[in-house]
Amino acid sequence: MASRPAGTLYRGKLGMWTWVLHRITGVGIYFFLLVHILDTALVRVSAEAYNSVVASYKTEIIGLAEIGLVGAILFHAFNGIRIILIDYWRKGAKYQNQMFWVVLVIWVVLMAGFIPRQLSNIFGA
Amino acid sequence: MAIIIEQPDAPRSRKGAQWEKRAWIFMRASGIILVFLIIGHLSVNLILPEHGVKAIDFAFVAGKWASPFWQVYDGLMLWLALIHGTNGMRTIVNDYTEREWLRKSLNIALWVVAATLILLGTLVITTFDPCIDPNVHNYLPELVCKG
């Protein structure tokens, strides 16, 4: 088997994959944002129009998808802070890997708080 | 077709470089503000109400926008999130499109969409009228509706 290049500080490592994930979550959030501005704009049309569209957010399927949305937002948010620290903090580049694990821990804690709440709202009476 | 790769050290025009620098700073400044605004937004809409997302309806929005605080909050979130998202999409378009006409067209489309939605959203927040709901007095009893 041909040996793989040892790689660099960046390629194929956490730094690259978090960059990929930052882009994917960013694009997903962008398209949700377009939809969300349009659905909210219905409050200017009538209470009925707005309520009927918002009702779809309360369905089980969208309620579950919303967990994915919140997960994407929280990753993008805290990884974004990691990027800012890499740029501005003197030791940012040195600790970029460790900062990813901090991002992950914050993400897990917040998701552990959000998921049960969302599930009980969606599936509860 | 030959692929032309730009020299990384090719000088940009001064204006172009300034613009990119400002966009770069904007992404970081707006990003930090958006972290707070959006986590607040998610908490107030999905976590704090008794039934979370199920509590959201016209009355919920009318209740929030009765206060200038939430009008400014939502307006700020609208502007910052849409410009932040559009600029991020622009970066991605610039990275992955090879044909210049396609790159330009997609970027124009992105900014047209952003300008339209910012205008729409701002108008919705500033001209919102809870009185269009015939049941408004059930949840905003103090409100005086004309006509």
Dist CA B67 CA B58 (whole Å):
15
Question: DSSP readout, B96-145?
Answer: H--SHHHHHHHHHHHHHHHHHHHHHHHHHHHH--GGGSTTHHHH-TTPPP
From chain B, the residues in CB contact with A116 under 8 A are: none
pLDDT at A110: 97
How many Cβ pairs closer than 8 A exist between chain A and B? 105
pLDDT at A74: 98
Q: ipTM of this model?
A: 0.90
The answer to whether residue B111 sits within a structural domain is: yes
Residue A98 has, within 13 A of its CA and on its CB side, a CA count of: 6
Q: What is the mean pLDDT of each run of 10 residues along chain A (125 residues)?
A: 65 88 98 98 96 95 96 98 95 91 97 96 84
Taking an 8 Å cut-off on Cβ atoms, the answer to whether A121 and B46 are in contact is yes
CATH of the domain at B52: 1.20.1300.10
Interface of A with B in 38-97 (CB under 8 A): 38, 40-41, 43-44, 46-47, 50-51, 54, 57-58, 63, 66, 70, 73, 77-78, 80-81, 83-84, 87-88
The answer to whether residue A9 sits within a structural domain is: no
Q: Kindly report, residue by residue over A41-67, the tens digit of the pLDDT.
A: 999 999 999 999 999 999 999 999 999
Q: What is the pTM of this model?
A: 0.90
Q: Kindly report, residue by residue over B112-143, the tens digit of the pLDDT.
A: 999 999 999 999 999 999 999 988 889 888 88
CATH of the domain at A92: 1.20.1300.10
The answer to whether residue A11 sits within a structural domain is: no
The answer to whether residue B100 sits within a structural domain is: yes
Residues in chain B where the model's pLDDT stays below 70: 1-2, 147
Q: How far is CA A27 from CA A83, B93, B126, in A?
A: 17, 11, 28
Dist CA A15 CA A38 (whole Å):
35
